[in-house]
Amino acid sequence: MVATLETPEKTDEQLAAEAAREGSDGPAFVTLMGRHRDRVWRVCYRLMGNEHDAGDAAQEVFVRMFLARASFAGRSKYTTWVHGMAVRTCLSLRRSRGRRLRHETTVGEEAFARHEPQQKTTDPGLTPDLTHMLETLDEEDRALLILKYAESYSYEELADIFDLSTSACKMRVSRAKEKLQSRYGTGD
C-alpha cells in the first residue's frame, strides 16, 4: 500500500502571493481566476443587468485583476478584494454607459416624438418590477442593495468593498431601502 500525501489546497491569499511573483498568467493566477469566475460573473450580471454587459464587465475585471495582481496587500480577504474590483468596474462601466445612453435616448426620443402618436399610459395600479425600482437609485446604493440581498454579502464585506465603516454601510443600506419604500410604498 502506497501512502499518498495530500497537499492542502492553497488559500486565495497564498495563491495571490504566488501570482504576484509570476511573470505572466501562471498557474496561481489561473487557479484564482477559476475559483472566482462564476461569482464575479454573477455579481457583474446582477449589477449590469444583462448577459452581454456582464460578460464584458467580467472580462474587464479579470484583466484588471491580472494587471493589479502585485497590488493585493492582504488588508482584507482576497475574495473581498476581487469583488470590490468587480463592483468598481461595473459601476464605472454603468456610469459611462449611462452617459452614452442618456445622449442616445434624448436624440432618439426627439425623433420618436415627431413621428409617433401619443401612447397610452400604464395602469397606475400595476406594481413596477424590482429591476425598475432599483434603477431609480444611484449606482452605489443600487449595488449595495443587490450585493446585500441578492448575493448575501455581510455588512463587513460590503464595508471593505465600498471603503466604508460597517456602521456607515448599514446606514447606506437602510437609507437606500427607505428611498425605495418612500417611492414605491412598503408593500404592507
Supply the range of the domain harboring residue 170.
130-183
Q: What percent of the chain has pLDDT above 90? A: 55
Do 134 and 110 belong to one domain?
no
Q: What is the pTM of this model?
A: 0.73
Do 50 and 17 belong to one domain?
yes
Return phi, psi of residue 173, to 5°: -65, -45
More confident residue, 120 or 161: 161
- Across the chain, what does the average pLDDT equal? 82
Q: Which of 93, 116, 139 is a domain's end point?
A: 116
Residue 173 lies in a domain: yes
Do 87 and 151 belong to one domain?
no
More confident residue, 23 or 117: 23
In a 10 Å sphere around its CB, with 0-12 CB exposed, 13-18 middle and 19+ buried, how is residue 79 labelled?
A: middle
Do 153 and 64 belong to one domain?
no
Average pLDDT of span 172-178: 95
Residue 109 lies in a domain: yes
Is residue 137 pLDDT above 70, yes or no?
yes
Residue 141 lies in a domain: yes
Do 16 and 106 belong to one domain?
yes
Do 91 and 38 belong to one domain?
yes
Domain containing residue 136: CATH number: 1.10.10.10
pLDDT in tens, 84-107: 999 999 999 988 876 555 444 444
Residue 123 lies in a domain: no
More confident residue, 188 or 23: 23
The conformation of residue 147, written as its DSSP 8-state character, comes to I
Total domain count, the chain: 2
Query: Within 10 Å of residue 128's Cβ, how many Cβ atoms?
Result: 12
Q: Which of 82, 116, 150 is a domain's end point?
A: 116
d(CA 132, CA 33): 32
Residue 6 lies in a domain: no
Extract the C-alpha cell encoding 31. 487557479
Average pLDDT of span 131-160: 91
Do 89 and 172 belong to one domain?
no
Residue 178 lies in a domain: yes
Residue 1 lies in a domain: no
pLDDT in tens, 37-77: 999 999 999 999 889 999 999 999 999 999 998 899 888 89
Domain containing residue 88: CATH number: 1.10.1740.10
